[in-house]
Chains A and B, each alone.
Chain A
């Protein structure tokens, strides 16, 4: 096993062992507290630019399979765990996690006191970090990590968005009832699977698509996806959204929600270490129900910046009282900070997709869709 180091921007470091991919990799280090779902996390485009540390210490237990992917590739920059499983066990597994990471040349480090790392991030905040299998010189590492790009202010969406628009191929038996345009900022497949199951034919567009092009397919609704990085840096999507308010029902998730918040005149701020896990309680104020949600975000819409005017907060995180969802009082716009599509995580709030369908139905009835 090759010795490797995880070096943090503030000088804290951890030694561990690398898998077969070697070299340096840098990014913002965040921790994820899900006990299951590493394959979904690895393939979630929202983690682009980040090094993810899993708090659950035993990773790889059930291998990987063909189905549980959230995109076509691994997006995160580095993977940090306590112990990789050497022999997985699951009836659906097609290969081991180690092989999967190796094949994808992902720099991964094990043998790390991930709890100490998590506590450090909790106290000091998410920060830049670097994993190296080659350079173990602390001074040199400090120099490198200082030069790594920061999350704040950087646009990661253009790196993960599709180049060409495409139509999601859903399950054959579902009846198509609606046509939906989706702005892909790093969309997770499970969102597409769910929309498709609800009867949507989803046209997935590159993030830089203009409002006019989106409307050209005459969609019944617009979906703004999750994605990586700072929402404030994705000015082009924010502009597009502004042009579409009131013209078409809009539903957003995660980064999509943040960009909607910005487009509606609100502000976003960076959380100290973000929410990354599958156990966050969220209260949906429209029906009072509490759902255990899947979350993955480093930025957040500032409640105070939008609570006046036409915006209504519809979801609240019960742990820290941050905004988890918003709705426009006049226009058919609703968005959620957490992930109703789960994958990984509980399915408690999957029902929230119904609001999108309801908005579409209403607007169809009113006959005013563009």
Chain B
């Protein structure tokens, strides 16, 4: 069936900020969908609150709304744009939920908007546990057995029927309290009775436990003619019990016979038909009992998901693009597979390699949280590796994680780890379990023993043992012969050992080893990802490295060159090649923003006629779509892997300043190896990082910096701090994202910091800066060609200086900074850029206190805020910077400050924090970055923009009710005025004693409550008010070093109850502005394209 002609305008909903469980994979899917539907001639309206996405680039959709992703705001967009249809299946759970709501409250009906992909009933059937269970049972498949019980008698009958082990879940308790596993009568009696007690309505669910079973996923696509294909099968290394996003997973499924695989395939077909997903992709999860093959259906996502992104990258099959085409009426056989160019999309990819995905965790950011894994996802990113064998792919994935592991290695000495610890770490799923398998192998434990503890299939364990055995063989050989024979070395490379691992074993440098290896002719070969295992000629420019006999990259590159030369207007001679290094797995501090920059560099250079080469290992990203750059290398971002690509591509330039810290860390070594790094020189980057040289430069330029020094010992630290005066900002050098940074107010605090920082700083000195209290922090993004500089964005932070810029809300243009100060910022930025000879992007953090402008930090590279500034101003910074880096002058772009100075709208960036995923962690912001993502609010006034940003970050400002205020002594004076305004706006104020006293004596009516859980048994305290959902907003400023355990509990409870919690006066001021603007008038929405016209 050809394209539908009854629809013209389609609304696509994005997924909003990056949060744990919903990351840039939906930028990938949304971007693909927008592009392909626009190509098909549809008018595309897009709503997404996340500015760091490619999909919100103004050229991707016809009308782009950066507005909150709530039913209310999406309705405004519908009201304004009147789309014919809505496509909700490409924006994750967020988009699906909004579409469901819009259907339920009849908005879709009111405006006559059709749902594409999956309609209401389908989504309901897939998402509602009970409906789904019924559907599955109806088609003769199984779900875990479960029974409700309301008494111990009923519970005992139920457990008898189901059989041990079981999970007991009490109904209606927050966070699953009172539930647990029971393996026998004794445990059952205890847990079930406890569960019945803790459940509000004495209801427990007793469910068959399938923890430890094998877990699989199938990616399914269906068209409106009922053709169904399976794109990819995935087998999880971590068995059931660990969220699939936190599991190491492998594609394709490894341990299923064809018979079993076909049973699962048939089940998937039956499920997608029964649930009724008419067009598009779904993913279905299964569990298999390893002892008898019994198959249970876990769940289905009736939409494109994280797994579909992985499946797309793992096979080369562009799921999102095809899902969008199917949604508008095409059938699979009408869509061409652009990889083979002659076969249709109605086939099943077959692969001739093994793919391993490994999750990236950030528990080091949340030291109070345990790194134990369970059913709630906790990882913040992932890396994918491709190899010809599982062993190779596994080792590549582990080094691709960039967590200090260079393969299936060991950071600790196994002799130092007690057996009991290894047993626990194997038994209880956790972030470093894979490395404990290594320790167990080193201890000589059998695969059976490791399996008994971990339930990780012996197939995986046996491969790890092979890796370990080869390592042993190499080490013994070196001990005996001082060298490794060629065939053993080749085998090691085939097993995925990195040069870093092998050179360490040989006791030589990696560079020496690399030269030696190449001399022996052991050279990486590149293979193509082509969806068809080489059965058809492929045109995909998508490669991975392995150690085989034939290299396809050279052949393929020659083919592309030939094709390009035939294009009309092609220039004679070889096209210049620019290689862009991506950011690797997402982590806190380095995520989608950098992928955005890399993509933009590729777009800009591609347009200029360069051949662009992308290197990245993150399957969630847009940059790893094979049609973004001329060639894509899906590889870990290590020196070795990048050099291997350099060897085949011989790039004319390599860009390291767009991918975040990952490529920057490689810059020096690459440059030393003769790789042509373009843009700001490695020396300049170094200079900015080197505190001493940098201080000298700042002085020479006549600028000021907070007083600072560094220390190599606790005594020195105390000495330095004494000299510059408390409070000080202390941090270990050479760390990312403000890791372990702290504001310290006293000697005691400093000493305990030094103690804590030991592990992180690893022998590097500790940096100590004077902390400037009550300063306004400003972030600046600028571009320079070495001569001219243009300051594209000045962002005023809404939080105090001292909160990591990545966690701070900020506003552009600045709301309270004088014109003179703006001029000074521009001038100082220009001088710094010139002094550092910046070619490309530059980010500076300033602090303003009174009339003084302090330079806090200079980063001569793309910053996290580049996409935000680009969206706010309509200037595409990364694209221009990329052009500058290949030699274009800044003057080419005709930039002027007039436009910026006359902007008629405010843009507010707000960060989104993951605290709700890490229970027990204090919600307080500091110099260490903790947010996972960001949103943007745009409006004509600051207040409105701020309110929108809060709604976008799902901490909607209240319009009525109680506001809890408790501030430290320094803030008490300032809060009075704000409290008055709040009272005037109709809120009632609740305070603890100290604050209440100040407010009352200034004429603000205030109800006093006991702190935390103090007070008489039935009297009100803060905790109870929170639990009763009476408090709608918390303003609580923490202070220096005072013990605040009760305040921590309040903030934790606020988080649990979804009550916005403001911890600075600036934040409070912004919030009141926002509340006010919202009270005054209904919000309006406007597209970026309209804002840019002005």
Per-residue interface assignment for chain A, residues 58 to 92, with 1 indicating a CB less than 8 Å from any chain B CB and 0 otherwise: 10011001011000000000000011011111111
Interface pair A55/B255, CB less than 8 Å apart: no
Per-residue interface assignment for chain A, residues 116 to 138, with 1 indicating a CB less than 8 Å from any chain B CB and 0 otherwise: 10110010000000000000000
Rounded to whole angstroms, the CA-CA distance of A321 and B389 in the bound complex is 34
B244-279 residues at the A interface, CB under 8 angstroms: 252-262, 265-266
B550 at the A/B interface (Cβ < 8 Å)?
Answer: yes
Among B7-15, B290-298, B861-869, which stretch is in contact with chain A? Answer: B290-298
The 8 closest A-B pairs by CB, nearest first: A37-B258, A87-B462, A116-B550, A344-B258, A55-B533, A89-B459, A36-B258, A279-B348
Question: Which A residues are within 8 Å of any B CB, using their own CB?
Answer: 14, 31, 33-37, 39-40, 55-58, 61-62, 65, 67-68, 82-83, 85-92, 113-116, 118-119, 122, 277-281, 283, 288-290, 292, 318-319, 342-347
Residues of chain B contacted by A278 (CB below 8 angstroms): 258, 348, 350
B339-389 residues at the A interface, CB under 8 angstroms: 342-344, 346-354, 388-389
A85 → B minimal CB distance (Å): 8
Residues of chain A contacted by B350 (CB below 8 angstroms): 33-35, 55-56, 277-279
Choose one: A39, A40, A58, A342; the contact of B254 (CB below 8 Å): A58
With contacts defined as CB atoms under 8 Å apart, how many contacts are there between chain A and chain B in the complex?
A: 163
Rounded to whole angstroms, the CA-CA distance of A34 and B261 in the bound complex is 12
A282 → B minimal CB distance (Å): 9
Closest to B460 in A: A89
A89 → B minimal CB distance (Å): 4
B757 → A minimal CB distance (Å): 45
Choose one: B257, B333, B537, B548; the contact of A65 (CB below 8 Å): B257
Among B225-233, B622-630, B959-967, B981-989, which stretch is in contact with chain A? Answer: B225-233
Question: Which B residues are within 8 Å of any A CB, using their own CB?
Answer: 225-227, 229-230, 252-262, 265-266, 290-293, 332-333, 342-344, 346-354, 388-390, 447, 457-459, 462, 466, 527, 532-537, 548-550, 552
Rounded to whole angstroms, the CA-CA distance of A85 and B458 in the bound complex is 12
Interface pair B548/A113, CB less than 8 Å apart: yes
Interface pair B388/A82, CB less than 8 Å apart: yes
- Given the known interface contacts A35-B252, A116-B550, A118-B535, the answer about A55 and B389 at a Cβ–Cβ threshold of 8 Å is no
A156 → B minimal CB distance (Å): 24
Interface pair A89/B532, CB less than 8 Å apart: no
A22 → B minimal CB distance (Å): 21
Interface pair A115/B533, CB less than 8 Å apart: yes
- Given the known interface contacts A87-B458, A292-B348, the answer about A58 and B354 at a Cβ–Cβ threshold of 8 Å is yes
Interface pair B262/A342, CB less than 8 Å apart: yes
Interface pair A57/B333, CB less than 8 Å apart: no
- Given the known interface contacts A346-B262, A346-B265, A347-B266, the answer about A36 and B257 at a Cβ–Cβ threshold of 8 Å is yes
Interface pair A57/B258, CB less than 8 Å apart: no
Interface pair B292/A91, CB less than 8 Å apart: yes
Interface pair B346/A281, CB less than 8 Å apart: yes
Rounded to whole angstroms, the CA-CA distance of A92 and B294 in the bound complex is 12
Interface pair B344/A281, CB less than 8 Å apart: yes
Interface pair A68/B536, CB less than 8 Å apart: no
Interface pair B254/A119, CB less than 8 Å apart: no
Rounded to whole angstroms, the CA-CA distance of A340 and B262 in the bound complex is 13
Interface pair A36/B256, CB less than 8 Å apart: yes
Choose one: A82, A91, A290; the contact of B293 (CB below 8 Å): A91
Choose one: A35, A56, A86, A90; the contact of B466 (CB below 8 Å): A86
Interface pair A57/B352, CB less than 8 Å apart: yes
A112 → B minimal CB distance (Å): 9
Residues of chain A contacted by B256 (CB below 8 angstroms): 36, 62, 90
- Given the known interface contacts A68-B257, A115-B533, A289-B227, the answer about A58 and B458 at a Cβ–Cβ threshold of 8 Å is no
Interface pair B293/A57, CB less than 8 Å apart: no
Closest to B533 in A: A55
Interface pair B389/A82, CB less than 8 Å apart: yes
Rounded to whole angstroms, the CA-CA distance of A327 and B389 in the bound complex is 44
Choose one: A35, A67, A283; the contact of B333 (CB below 8 Å): A283
Interface pair B262/A33, CB less than 8 Å apart: no
Closest to A54 in B: B352
Rounded to whole angstroms, the CA-CA distance of A136 and B458 in the bound complex is 37
Interface pair A290/B255, CB less than 8 Å apart: no
Interface pair B352/A58, CB less than 8 Å apart: no
Rounded to whole angstroms, the CA-CA distance of A278 and B261 in the bound complex is 12
A216 → B minimal CB distance (Å): 36
Residues of chain B contacted by A35 (CB below 8 angstroms): 252, 350-351
Interface pair A119/B225, CB less than 8 Å apart: no
A277 → B minimal CB distance (Å): 6
Residues of chain A contacted by B348 (CB below 8 angstroms): 278-279, 292, 346
Choose one: B255, B259, B332, B343; the contact of A89 (CB below 8 Å): B255
Choose one: B229, B252, B257; the contact of A292 (CB below 8 Å): B229
Residues of chain A contacted by B533 (CB below 8 angstroms): 31, 33, 55-56, 115, 118, 277
Interface pair B535/A345, CB less than 8 Å apart: no
- 23 residue pairs bridging A and B, Cβ less than 8 Å apart: A31-B533, A37-B258, A39-B257, A55-B350, A57-B354, A58-B390, A68-B257, A89-B457, A89-B462, A90-B257, A91-B293, A92-B293, A115-B548, A116-B550, A119-B552, A122-B536, A278-B348, A281-B343, A281-B344, A292-B229, A318-B344, A346-B262, A347-B266
Rounded to whole angstroms, the CA-CA distance of A40 and B260 in the bound complex is 13
A76 → B minimal CB distance (Å): 17
A318 → B minimal CB distance (Å): 5
Choose one: B293, B352, B354, B532; the contact of A114 (CB below 8 Å): B352
- Given the known interface contacts A281-B344, A290-B332, A290-B333, the answer about A68 and B352 at a Cβ–Cβ threshold of 8 Å is no
Residues of chain B contacted by A347 (CB below 8 angstroms): 262, 265-266
- Given the known interface contacts A56-B352, A83-B389, A118-B534, the answer about A318 and B346 at a Cβ–Cβ threshold of 8 Å is yes
Residues of chain B contacted by A85 (CB below 8 angstroms): 459
A47 → B minimal CB distance (Å): 15
Rounded to whole angstroms, the CA-CA distance of A141 and B354 in the bound complex is 33
Choose one: A89, A281, A345; the contact of B262 (CB below 8 Å): A345
Choose one: A91, A288, A319; the contact of B347 (CB below 8 Å): A319
Closest to A119 in B: B534
B552 → A minimal CB distance (Å): 8
Choose one: A62, A290, A319; the contact of B343 (CB below 8 Å): A319
B402 → A minimal CB distance (Å): 27
Rounded to whole angstroms, the CA-CA distance of A318 and B343 in the bound complex is 7
Interface pair A280/B353, CB less than 8 Å apart: no
A327 → B minimal CB distance (Å): 21
Rounded to whole angstroms, the CA-CA distance of A89 and B462 in the bound complex is 10
Interface pair B257/A89, CB less than 8 Å apart: no
Rounded to whole angstroms, the CA-CA distance of A65 and B332 in the bound complex is 36
A276 → B minimal CB distance (Å): 9
Residues of chain A contacted by B353 (CB below 8 angstroms): 57
Residues of chain B contacted by A318 (CB below 8 angstroms): 333, 343-344, 346-347
Residues of chain A contacted by B229 (CB below 8 angstroms): 292
Interface pair A61/B347, CB less than 8 Å apart: no
Residues of chain B contacted by A119 (CB below 8 angstroms): 534, 550, 552
Closest to A63 in B: B257
B328 → A minimal CB distance (Å): 19
Residues of chain A contacted by B535 (CB below 8 angstroms): 31, 33, 55, 118, 122, 277
Rounded to whole angstroms, the CA-CA distance of A319 and B349 in the bound complex is 13
Interface pair A62/B257, CB less than 8 Å apart: yes
Closest to A65 in B: B257
Rounded to whole angstroms, the CA-CA distance of A279 and B349 in the bound complex is 7
Rounded to whole angstroms, the CA-CA distance of A114 and B352 in the bound complex is 9
Closest to B525 in A: A113
Rounded to whole angstroms, the CA-CA distance of A92 and B332 in the bound complex is 36
Residues of chain B contacted by A281 (CB below 8 angstroms): 333, 343-344, 346-347
Closest to B457 in A: A89
Interface pair B293/A14, CB less than 8 Å apart: no
Rounded to whole angstroms, the CA-CA distance of A89 and B293 in the bound complex is 12
Closest to B447 in A: A87
Residues of chain B contacted by A345 (CB below 8 angstroms): 258, 262
Interface pair A61/B255, CB less than 8 Å apart: yes
Choose one: B226, B253, B388; the contact of A289 (CB below 8 Å): B226
Rounded to whole angstroms, the CA-CA distance of A118 and B291 in the bound complex is 37
Residues of chain A contacted by B290 (CB below 8 angstroms): 91
